[in-house]
């Protein structure tokens, strides 16, 4: 009997596994699955302050109807999105417009937002309702808020845009969110509020707001959608397919989970307070205040820990990729050194072959030294063990040495290096950490040559506003727009791809950025894909005569 039960459980597990894989296969095509597999992270903006759609529950977990929809979509595409939590809706809007997030879990579709986001899954709608104090007239209309009356709406929400566009004469007062609006209505700071009926009912019930009421519905509805960055075509296709694959039964199950009646605890009923003395009331209020303060702090820490955990997991994945790349970059030159050293031992090689093998050994040794130096340098920089050593430096001579060194390397690719220098001989005598500035310029010039197949490299150097500015401009492959915000990050996916295609560990820009910050400078860049890049180093100008 036990064996039969175990066999049944094993078969059931295999069936569920195959079913899950089959579901993913039906939803996405092979190229979409590969695209997801290659993505280190896809960021979903979550605003957990809009119950019952998304909110922090009594257990301090992010919960809600749309959270369950997101989990269902993750299951269907077999991918876990990176959640970015926001407590400020306007900050979320700014990041979505600035393409710092890929998906917004909940957003009302408007004409303006359609310019930069696509919207999917209008799962349900809730009428916007007008809420006033109970003693007010039940016939209150929106047009009544034009003189001495003020209506509250959350800043940046779709209803805010709608009212300002369609009712320009009414008095609007903005607050951060719906619950703050209703708190101020309850206290009499404002005269009315407009919000989704489901949200209003939920907040009034959970917060025991007995002095306010819903007086009418508007002809405007709240229809939350999942919003996706309009420029990300593949991600739009994936979300579109996954949303369309949600069956009526699955959607119904989510709604059934949220079809409940809120039971008020005894201590929130008005009759309970009538039997308590003033002293006990004060004690309870004090305990309640402490409770909510601690809960608020715990919520903050919980969100911070969740974000830190996801960042740590992302960093771990990146470092694993980096270690794999290290093994390749060290093994390859070592194989060259050992292999061609063995060939030099043979007696039947010609003088020309001997020279060729020797040169290969020298080149492989240089590659190995560069890799080891980069590993040691990035390790020292990240552990804060690298110190700044200021010394007298002739900047013009340093630039001449570097250009002379890299000219032969450029000529092998039929490239030319030009130097446009506006720093005279007196100005070039400065105090700076020579080793670090040489390391930075080495990396920038080397990258310019590495990623340029035709054309030229121009190096500009001049002094402006008590700053030394050195700029390296190339006509190379440029940098993809999606990668430009992460090119200075150590162990990033972008560096992994660069290393695979062009060789090296891909740590040059990370090392250069850290070194520039150590000497109170900065590195900026401008790049267009397939047009070229221009990297600019800016450092303080400290002439020797002023030292």
**Residues 114 and 138 sit within 8 Å (Cβ to Cβ):** no
pTM: 0.41
Strands 43-46 and 103-108: parallel
In this predicted structure, the answer to whether residue 370 has a pLDDT above a threshold of 80 is: no
Closest CA to 411 of 452, 383, 440: 452
Mean pLDDT of the chain: 82
Confidence of residue 272 (pLDDT cuts 50, 70, 90): low
Q: At what angle do helices 493-502 and 278-344 cross, to 10 degrees?
A: 10
pLDDT: is 194 or 11 the higher one? 194
In this predicted structure, the answer to whether residue 452 has a pLDDT above a threshold of 60 is: yes
Over the stretch 74-129, which tens digit does the pLDDT of each residue have?
Answer: 999 999 999 999 988 889 999 999 999 999 999 888 888 999 999 997 767 788 99
DSSP letter assigned to residue 144: G
Q: Residue 12's pLDDT is what?
A: 45
Ranking 131-145, 152-166, 352-366, 495-509 by mean pLDDT, the lowest is: 495-509
Closest CA to 329 of 378, 368, 365: 368
Q: Residue 387's pLDDT is what?
A: 81
Ranking 341-350, 365-374, 480-489 by mean pLDDT, the lowest is: 365-374
C-alpha to C-alpha distance for 224 and 235, rounded to whole angstroms: 19
In this predicted structure, the answer to whether residue 499 has a pLDDT above a threshold of 90 is: no
Q: How many CB atoms lie within 10 A of CB 89?
A: 19
Confidence of residue 73 (pLDDT cuts 50, 70, 90): very high
501-540 CB burial, b ≥16 within 10 A, e <16 = eeebbbbbbbbbbbbbeebebebebebeeeebbbbbbbbe
**Residues 345 and 355 sit within 8 Å (Cβ to Cβ):** no
- Give me the percent of the chain exceeding a pLDDT of 90: 37
Strands 224-229 and 117-120: antiparallel
C-alpha to C-alpha distance for 364 and 332, rounded to whole angstroms: 8
Closest CA to 39 of 105, 100, 102: 102
142-172 CB burial, b ≥16 within 10 A, e <16 = bebbeeeebbbbbbbbbbebbbeeeeeebeb
């Amino acid at each position: 009997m036990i064996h039969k039960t175990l066999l049944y459980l094993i078969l059931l597990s295999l069936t569920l596994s195959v079913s899950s894989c089959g579901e993913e296969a039906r939803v996405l095509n092979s190229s979409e699955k590969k695209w997801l597999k290659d993505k280190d992270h896809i960021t979903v903006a979550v605003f957990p302050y809009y119950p019952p759609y998304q909110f922090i529950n009594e257990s301090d977990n992010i919960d809600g109807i749309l959270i369950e929809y997101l989990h269902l979509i993750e299951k269907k595409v077999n991918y876990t999105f990176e959640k970015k939590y926001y407590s400020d809706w306007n900050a979320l809007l700014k990041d979505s417009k600035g393409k710092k997030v890929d998906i917004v879990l909940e957003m009302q579709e408007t004409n303006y937002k359609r310019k930069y986001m696509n919207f999917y899954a209008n799962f349900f709608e809730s009428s916007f309702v007008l809420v006033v104090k109970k003693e007010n007239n039940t016939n209150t209309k929106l047009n009544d808020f034009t003189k001495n009356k003020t209506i509250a709406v959350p800043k940046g929400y779709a209803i805010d845009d709608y009212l300002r566009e369609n009712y320009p004469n009414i008095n609007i007062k903005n607050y951060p969110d719906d619950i703050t609006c209703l708190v101020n209505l309850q206290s009499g700071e404002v005269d009315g509020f407009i919000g989704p009926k489901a949200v209003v009912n939920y907040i009034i019930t959970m917060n025991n707001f007995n002095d306010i009421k819903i007086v009418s519905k508007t002809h405007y509805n709240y229809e939350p959608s999942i919003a996706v960055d309009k420029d990300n075509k593949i991600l739009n296709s994936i979300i579109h397919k996954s949303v369309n694959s949600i069956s009526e039964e699955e959607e119904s199950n989510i709604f059934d989970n949220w079809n409940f009646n809120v039971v008020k605890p005894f201590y929130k009923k008005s009759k309970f307070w009538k039997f308590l003395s003033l002293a006990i009331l004060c004690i309870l209020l004090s305990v309640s205040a402490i409770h909510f303060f601690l809960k608020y702090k715990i919520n903050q820490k919980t969100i911070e820990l969740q974000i830190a955990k996801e960042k740590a997991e992302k960093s771990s994945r990146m470092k694993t990729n980096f270690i794999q790349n290290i093994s390749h970059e060290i093994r390859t030159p070592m194989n060259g050194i050992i292999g061609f050293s063995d060939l030099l031992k043979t007696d039947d090689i010609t003088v020309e072959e001997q020279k060729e093998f020797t040169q290969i050994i020298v080149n492989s040794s240089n590659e190995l030294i560069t890799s080891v130096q980069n590993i040691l340098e990035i390790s020292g920089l990240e552990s804060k063990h690298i110190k700044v050593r200021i010394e007298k430096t002739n900047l013009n001579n340093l630039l001449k040495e570097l250009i002379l060194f890299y000219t032969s390397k450029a000529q092998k690719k039929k490239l030319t290096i030009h130097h446009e220098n506006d720093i005279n001989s007196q100005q070039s005598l400065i105090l700076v950490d020579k080793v670090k500035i040489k390391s930075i310029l080495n990396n920038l010039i080397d990258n310019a040559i590495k990623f340029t197949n035709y054309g030229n490299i121009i190096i500009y150097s001049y002094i402006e506003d008590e700053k030394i500015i050195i700029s390296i401009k190339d006509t190379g492959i440029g940098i993809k727009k999606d990668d430009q915000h992460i090119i200075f990050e150590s162990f990033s996916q972008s560096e992994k791809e660069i290393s695979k295609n062009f060789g090296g560990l891909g740590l040059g820009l990370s090392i250069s950025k850290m070194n520039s910050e150590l000497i109170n400078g900065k590195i900026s860049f401008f790049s267009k894909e397939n047009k070229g890049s221009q990297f600019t180093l800016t450092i303080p100008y400290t002439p020797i005569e002023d030292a």
